[in-house]
């Protein structure tokens, strides 16, 4: 019996937990990038890739057809019991519902998807 062709394995880059840095998935289709540190950034530049921005004040961007996963967290460090608590989470697909390729996105305090600066 002939072997079924193997699907190409997606390139995956995951779990960056630093501060104010960007993580990029550029090398392959269906890859993943995740930023979970404060003010981190994740970008998915491969076809049908994903970028997750899960830290405080994180941002994500992607190529057409990529999925962005965005989290908004409680950011008052004086409130130790709730600092970092997830308040909102959203998933969007680049190229749908006004989400543009190569534009950074984040969530605002009300959970709305908003464009953010490059810096």
DSSP state of 30: T
SS3 95: coil
CA distances from 95 to 17, 27, 56, 58, 64 (A): 28, 21, 25, 21, 5
The pLDDT of residue 38 is 84
User: Could you tell me the strand order of the sheet in which 41-44 lies?
Assistant: 22-25, 41-44, 59-62, 105-107, 113-115
The answer, yes or no, to whether residue 103 has pLDDT greater than 60, is yes
State pLDDT tens for residues 76-98: 989 999 999 999 999 999 999 99
**Entry pTM:** 0.76
pLDDT 10s digits, 8-67: 444 444 444 444 444 444 446 767 777 877 888 899 888 889 999 999 999 999 999 999
């Amino acid at each position: 019996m002939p072997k079924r062709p193997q699907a190409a394995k997606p390139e995956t880059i995951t779990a960056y937990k630093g501060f104010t840095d960007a993580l990029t998935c550029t090398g392959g289709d269906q890859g993943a990038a995740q930023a979970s540190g404060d003010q981190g950034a994740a970008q998915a530049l491969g076809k049908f890739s994903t970028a997750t921005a899960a830290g405080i004040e994180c941002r994500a961007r992607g190529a057409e057809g990529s999925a962005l996963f965005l989290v908004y967290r409680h950011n008052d460090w004086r409130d130790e019991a709730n600092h970092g608590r997830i308040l909102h989470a959203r998933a969007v697909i680049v190229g749908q519902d006004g989400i543009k390729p190569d534009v950074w996105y984040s969530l605002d305090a009300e959970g709305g998807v908003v464009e953010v600066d490059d810096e």
